[in-house]
Structure 1
Amino acid sequence: MAMNSAIEWTDHTFNPWTGCTNISPGCDNCYAEAWSKRSGHVKWGNSPRKRTTESYWKAPHIWQAKAAQFAALNGRRQRVFCASLADVFDNQADPAWRTDLFDVIRQTPALDWQLLTKRPQNIRKMLPPDWGNQGYHNVWLGFTAEDQVRFDQRKRFIREIPATVWFVSYEPAIGPLRLSEADPKPNWLISGGESGHGSRPMISQWARDIITDCRRHGIPILHKQWGAYGNNPLVQELGLDIASAKVQDPYGKGGGLVDGELIREFPVNRSVSASNAA
């Protein structure tokens, strides 16, 4: 449950509770489920979720207290991914825990909270009563779409639910995904291949295609990683051996360069700025 995160698109992870149930193909090799089996912290699937400790819940307040210093050093606000070992909008989690989470979010206005879910159909009914017509200034809402089918199933929520930032996590990418002219457009998109034991392949061209679509529509995109070097175009297309590919592209699991470019773009949270982080 590391709080200072190595994930390329965030600074911290915060898990108000742990445990989840797999609901789509993207969950098949879930790293959080593998963690639960190794740690024994919580049983995965249709089992009770486990709330984290009160001392752990103090971490966001510590980050908030250091927000001005962080902004001065980095020229931006801190990002908090919630939750890496659970789903904020899981209907099997205790609603009181979610209420407590949104209380913490309100009390930490200088942190940008990245709430990523595979259950966007639950978001509206689980948002706090004061969400309003624009959402909280420090909350980014996102959903996972591992392929075109899942994006098409979930994309309507971008239009239906207001948020300061809407983002899509195309990770693990297990099929192609394209953005059409008619699609509702997120403010940010993350792409990446699957990593770990039993990982499924990502075709190099899928990354190029979604990058092209995002740039056509002015959407910042962050290509996190290829997941495995077998997915990396240096190996997949150019036939380079894996040892050589690791030297040429050491970014992330399986490397992260797309045709020689490291693509790590972020959205601008226009409702706040680093200068008012306090």
Structure 2
Amino acid sequence: MAERSKIEWTDHTFNPWTGCTKISPGCDHCYAESWAKRSGLVQWGNHARRRTTADYWKAPRIWNARAELFRTAHGRRQRVFCASLADVFDNKVPTEWRADLFELIRECPGLDWLLLTKRPQNIEKMLPADWRAGYSNVWLGTTAEDQERFDQRWPHLVAIPAVVRFVSYEPAVGPLRLPACGPWPDWLICGGESGGRARSMQAQWARDIIADCRARRVAPFLKQWGTYRSNPLVSEAGIDELGARVIDPHGKGGGMIDGRLIRDFPKTGTAMKPEKSVA
């Protein structure tokens, strides 16, 4: 829930509060809800959100104090996923909590904050007054588990200025293709659903969206298949799951496609893509 996240595309996770409400099919088997039930710390659904402790809120300041050491060691900035157990732009979150979060973000300029939401229609009205062209250390993202959700949510996100705009196509529960004309995301994360009730992800969905990304200069990041039964080593090549685990140990269910591990990151400052058609 904090430092050294196991999520492959971030270094840390930070949850200023916990709790959320399901709003679309991608939420059906929510890992955060499962965590909440196991821990007993949060009531999921239409219940009050729970703010995390003052001590917990100190963590980003500690990471920020080490920002130069991290950059020297890794050649890049630290990434913070906010929030893995909540939604920053949730209507049920008190306005003052969100104001406190943005104050913390301003106090930690050495960190890149990745704000991921299923409610991009709320972003504009919930941003701080000094947002203007966007904070230089905030990436804005939306989840889109299928084409319908992408078509609904991306127009809201693309209207907001940000140094990086990204889409999390996870859990992928249906095919998704990028439009022929931009603007497009700077980054697209793709991943299958994990867990005992996971819905299968088709390998061709990943191939198609990665091809779309390559054609549009969008950075693709294939995180995981979710389960090995969705991994093309099993579903297409017929290798048993034990063998697939040896060949592809990356992420839950593996993360390779056609012999490659595709985990690209965006170049910052490229949020406005030219609105040209791709044949």
- Shorter-chain TM-score category? over 0.9
In structure 1, the residue corresponding to 2:125 is in which secondary structure?
A: helix
In structure 1, the residue corresponding to 2:257 is in which secondary structure?
A: coil
Match of 2:70 in 1: 70
Query: How far 1:157 sits from its partner (Å)?
Result: 2.1
Query: How far 1:160 sits from its partner (Å)?
Result: 1.1
Q: 8 Å contact 2:158–2:165 — kept in the other structure?
A: no
Query: How far 1:183 sits from its partner (Å)?
Result: 4.5
Query: How far 1:4 sits from its partner (Å)?
Result: 2.1
Q: Say yes or no: does 1:252 pair with 2:251.
A: yes
CA distance in 1 between counterparts of 2:116 and 2:157 reads: 13
CA distance in 2 between counterparts of 1:223 and 1:159 reads: 22
CA distance in 1 between counterparts of 2:131 and 2:55 reads: 27
In structure 2, the residue corresponding to 1:223 is in which secondary structure?
A: strand
Q: Say yes or no: does 1:140 pair with 2:139.
A: yes
Q: Say yes or no: does 1:185 pair with 2:170.
A: no
TM-score normalised per structure 2 = 0.95
Match of 1:229 in 2: 228
One-letter amino acid of the structure 1 residue matched with residue 84 of structure 2: S
One-letter amino acid of the structure 2 residue matched with residue 184 of structure 1: P
One-letter amino acid of the structure 2 residue matched with residue 28 of structure 1: D
Query: How far 1:184 sits from its partner (Å)?
Result: 3.1
CA distance in 2 between counterparts of 1:46 and 1:270 reads: 38
CA distance in 1 between counterparts of 2:121 and 2:210 reads: 27
One-letter amino acid of the structure 2 residue matched with residue 45 of structure 1: G
Show CA shifts across 1:105-125 (max 9, x none).
000011000000000000000
Show CA shifts across 1:56-90 (max 9, x none).
00001000100000000000000000000000000
Query: How far 1:155 sits from its partner (Å)?
Result: 1.3
Match of 2:193 in 1: 194
Match of 1:264 in 2: 263
Query: How far 1:180 sits from its partner (Å)?
Result: 1.9
Match of 1:168 in 2: 167
TM-score normalised per structure 1 = 0.96
Identity %: 66
Q: 8 Å contact 1:64–1:110 — kept in the other structure?
A: yes
Query: How far 1:182 sits from its partner (Å)?
Result: 2.3
Query: How far 1:2 sits from its partner (Å)?
Result: 3.5
In structure 2, the residue corresponding to 1:96 is in which secondary structure?
A: helix
Q: 8 Å contact 1:158–1:186 — kept in the other structure?
A: no
Q: 8 Å contact 2:89–2:120 — kept in the other structure?
A: yes
CA distance in 1 between counterparts of 2:150 and 2:266 reads: 20
Match of 2:206 in 1: 207
For structure 2, which runs of at least 5 residues remain unmatched after alignment? 271-279
CA distance in 2 between counterparts of 1:251 and 1:150 reads: 27
Q: Say yes or no: does 1:16 pair with 2:16.
A: yes
CA distance in 1 between counterparts of 2:225 and 2:177 reads: 18
Q: 8 Å contact 1:156–1:184 — kept in the other structure?
A: no
Match of 2:277 in 1: none
One-letter amino acid of the structure 1 residue matched with residue 184 of structure 2: K
The within-5 A match list for 1:58-137 is: 58-132=58-132, 134-137=133-136
The within-5 A match list for 1:152-163 is: 152-163=151-162
Count of matched residue pairs = 270
For structure 1, which runs of at least 5 residues remain unmatched after alignment? 272-278
CA distance in 1 between counterparts of 2:126 and 2:225 reads: 34
Q: Say yes or no: does 1:55 pair with 2:55.
A: yes
Q: 8 Å contact 2:120–2:157 — kept in the other structure?
A: no
